[in-house]
């Protein structure tokens, strides 16, 4: 083994340790709820907690709605920008990156200021309004991931020709988007969707400040009040995130038709 | 009025005028090719007919209806693209049935028509495949079937064979022509391949810098080119300088030999003019016509069925000619003295 290889391996090993050690420690800790034995007791307690079921279910539902809203927002936008206004692409790309630059707390304070109970549109005053606000906020948070993955997907197909082919066969915009464009960027949409899912499931700032009982605040509450369960919860949340990543890989590889191979 | 009527079509992109006053009438069932070099505006005209590009001025009408303002999806025009543009997420059958589904036809009706179309293009067993599982030639056939399935009034093809290799190109062009004849569908075929245009078309439109230089049958285009551009672009050509002796009477001197043309020539006595001559109208040896020029063999290119010979003429200049290859006769030797002969009727006087 040459010196250079040695250093490379060392760097990889150090990185791996940095990443894995806390995980292993946390997992180890989460298994020690019952004194003296290794067990999944903490997980049983967590999963059986009605609070967990309720907040988790709520967050999953919200994540799915966010994904749908994101798709409805991003796919047509990215498509028309590519097809008709390619000059606008840098501007749109910049806008979609803003949520990464502006902290969520700024956005949510802005929301609260604009939509508070004494405003013209008092969304924060009602259950429905708060949920809609949260949904819109999450759609904004997911923009950078959604837009980039959809835009990358659009690049792999010849949208101009496909659009014209569909038009010459009589199709209108709605049909072109739903039947021709969306299915062909579906894998990209999915990868954006899984990232969105992972973000929304664990999100804390928006939910806490809008006073919504979702999974994020529940995790924080757990962390402040219990010993072993938070670790179990963290492992569960972590597993969900990784399952999402795995699913992205899976769908990318085993999609029914391949747009990459042409 | 013609079935497909294109009147005074113009198109500018910014300050760049890409199509200038393009007028053409196409009869029902006619097959017309647009032939021209890259960037001459063929695709732009086609896209204006298809409704994908709005003309700066001018009008398009189909069967008496003005469609200039109609969007592409309401024109009933079938389109075939160079890049096939099959929908990658749909099977062959779903691709072919797409237009029928859009038109709201029933499942059974669609299935019947799809089967009929797949039969027509000779791929009846490939309905359940996806486009990426087909060869380029098969994909383009499917694209043709897809365009024809909803029974469009006009079929537009934009260099449909350019992405295919030579053998398939020839067989597919025969097939496109056969299908077009069977269905009697009015067709515009864009190509920059003159062989394709000449062999397939009822009429050819030779385009040059946004203008239709000449519109005519392949026979007319090849044998009576209207402009110098058409003559040079279609087929190979000898350009020979000659001295004008009497313009009105058509008297000239060609490499020192006096010749009388069968029509008047433009220009004034004493000027030098250019004459064009197809290589296949020149004969090696005497007996090919009334004009005989002595010279020497300069180049010999063996092309298989024909041998192209370049002869440097004694009076100056050189002329290329084609002779048929014969297995029992050796090709001419470079440097050998020869006479070449031609008829004055084959000399083309080109407008500048
Ligand atoms: N959308 C556009 N914007 C600006 N210029 C364009 C546009 N489309 C075409 N052009 C210009 O118009 C001219 C004609 O283009 P067109 O595509 O019609 O040529 P073509 O004859 O089809 O050439 P080719 O054989 O290469 O396909 C070209 O100079 C091209 O650059
Ligand atoms: Mg073109």
- Same structural domain for residues A61 and A96? yes
Domain annotation covers residue A158: yes
Delimit the domains of chain B by residue range: 4-232, 236-349
Query: How would you class B125 by CB atoms within 10 Å of its CB: exposed for 0-12, middle for 13-18, buried for 19 or more?
Result: exposed
Ligand 1: which of B19, B42, B156 to mutate, most ligand atoms within 8 Å of CB? B42
- Same structural domain for residues A21 and A108? no
CATH topology of domain B4-232: Rossmann fold (3.40.50)
- Same structural domain for residues A59 and A168? yes
**DSSP secondary structure letter of residue A87:** G
What is the pLDDT at residue B145? 96
Rounded percentage of chain B residues whose pLDDT exceeds 70: 99
B54 in A contact zone (CB under 8 Å)? no
Evaluate the CA torsion angle B15, B21, B27, B33 in order and state its sign. Answer: negative
Q: Which residues make beta-bridge pairs with B204?
A: B33, B216
Query: What ipTM score was computed for the predicted complex, to two decimals?
Result: 0.83
* Rounded CA separation A88/A100 (Å): 20
To the nearest whole angstrom, how far is the Cα of B322 from the nearest Cα of chain A?
43
To the nearest whole angstrom, how far is the Cα of B22 from the nearest Cα of chain A?
23
- Same structural domain for residues A82 and A204? yes
Q: pLDDT confidence of B235, banded at 50, 70, 90?
A: confident
Q: Cα-atom radius of gyration of chain A, to the nearest Å?
A: 22
- Same structural domain for residues A22 and A44? no
As given in the structure block, the two tokens for residue B246 are 């009497």
Atom of ligand 1 nearest to the CA of B41: 18
- Same structural domain for residues A232 and A205? yes
Mean pLDDT of chain B: 91
- Same structural domain for residues A123 and A214? yes
Domain holding A69: CATH number?
1.10.3720.10
Atom of ligand 1 nearest to the CA of B44: 18
Ligand lying closest to the C-alpha of residue B38: 1
**Superfamily covering domain B236-349:** Nucleic acid-binding proteins (2.40.50.140)
- Same structural domain for residues A139 and A15? no
Domain annotation covers residue A3: yes
Residue B233, helix vs strand vs coil: helix
What is the pLDDT at residue A89? 92
| Domains contained in chain A, number | 2
What is the pLDDT at residue A256? 61
Boundaries of domain holding A2: 1-30
Interval B35-39 mean pLDDT: 93
Domain annotation covers residue A35: no
Assess whether pLDDT exceeds 90 at residue B70: yes
What is the pLDDT at residue B261? 85
What is the pLDDT at residue A261? 43
As given in the structure block, the two tokens for residue B203 are 């009429």
């Amino acid at each position: 083994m040459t010196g250079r290889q040695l250093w490379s391996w060392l760097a990889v090993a150090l990185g791996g340790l940095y990443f894995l050690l806390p995980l292993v420690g946390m997992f180890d800790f989460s298994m020690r709820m019952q004194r003296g034995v290794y067990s999944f007791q903490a997980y049983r307690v967590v999963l059986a907690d009605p609070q967990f079921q309720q907040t988790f279910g709520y967050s999953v539902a919200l994540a799915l709605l966010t994904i749908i809203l994101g798709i409805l927002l991003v796919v047509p936008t990215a498509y028309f920008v590519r097809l008709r206004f390619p000059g606008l692409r840098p501007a749109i790309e910049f806008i979609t990156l803003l949520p990464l630059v502006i902290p969520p707390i700024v956005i949510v304070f802005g929301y609260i200021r604009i939509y508070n109970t004494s405003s013209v549109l008092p969304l924060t005053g009602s259950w429905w309004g708060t949920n809609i606000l949260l949904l819109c906020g999450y759609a904004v948070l997911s923009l950078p991931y959604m837009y980039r993955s959809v835009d990358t997907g659009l690049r792999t197909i010849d949208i101009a020709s496909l659009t014209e082919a569909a038009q010459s066969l009589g199709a209108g915009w709605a049909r072109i988007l739903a039947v021709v464009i969306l299915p062909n960027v579906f894998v990209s949409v999915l990868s954006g969707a899984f990232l969105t899912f992972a973000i929304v499931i664990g999100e804390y700032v928006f939910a806490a400040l809008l006073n919504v009982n979702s999974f994020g605040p529940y995790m924080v509450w757990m962390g402040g009040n219990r010993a072993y369960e938070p670790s179990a919860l963290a492992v569960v949340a972590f597993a969900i995130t990784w399952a999402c990543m795995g699913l992205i890989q899976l769908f990318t590889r085993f999609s029914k038709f391949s747009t990459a191979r042409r | 009025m013609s079935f497909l009527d294109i009147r005074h079509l113009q198109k500018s992109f910014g300050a760049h005028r890409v199509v200038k006053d393009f007028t053409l009438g196409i009869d029902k069932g006619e097959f017309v090719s647009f032939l021209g070099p890259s960037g001459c505006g063929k695709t732009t005209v086609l896209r204006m007919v298809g409704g994908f590009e709005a003309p700066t001025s001018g009008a398009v009408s189909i069967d008496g209806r003005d469609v200039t303002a109609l969007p592409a999806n309401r024109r009933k025009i079938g389109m075939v693209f160079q890049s096939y543009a099959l929908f990658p997420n749909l099977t062959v059958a779903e691709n072919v049935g797409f237009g029928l589904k859009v038109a709201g036809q029933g499942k059974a009706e669609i299935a019947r028509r799809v089967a009929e179309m797949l039969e027509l293009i000779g791929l009846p067993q490939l309905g359940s495949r996806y486009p990426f599982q087909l060869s380029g030639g098969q994909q383009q056939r499917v694209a043709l079937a897809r365009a024809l399935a909803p029974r469009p009034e006009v079929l537009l093809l934009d260099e449909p064979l350019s992405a295919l290799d030579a053998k398939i190109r020839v067989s597919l062009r025969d097939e496109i022509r056969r299908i077009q004849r069977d269905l009697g569908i009015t067709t515009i075929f864009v190509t920059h391949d003159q062989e394709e245009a000449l062999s397939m078309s009822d009429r050819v439109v030779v385009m040059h810098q946004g203008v239709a230089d000449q519109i005519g049958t392949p026979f007319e285009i090849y044998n009576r080119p209207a402009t110098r551009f058409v003559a040079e672009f279609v087929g190979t050509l000898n350009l020979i300088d000659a001295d004008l002796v009497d313009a009105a009477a058509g008297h000239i001197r060609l490499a020192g030999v006096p010749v009388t043309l069968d029509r008047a020539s433009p220009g004034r006595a004493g000027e030098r003019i250019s004459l064009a001559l197809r290589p296949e109208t020149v004969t090696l040896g005497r007996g090919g016509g009334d004009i005989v020029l002595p010279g020497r063999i300069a180049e010999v290119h063996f092309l298989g069925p024909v041998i192209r010979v370049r002869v440097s003429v004694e009076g100056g200049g050189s002329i290329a000619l084609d002779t048929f290859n014969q297995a029992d006769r050796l090709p001419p030797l470079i440097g050998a003295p020869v006479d070449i002969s031609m008829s004055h009727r084959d000399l083309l006087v080109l407008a500048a």
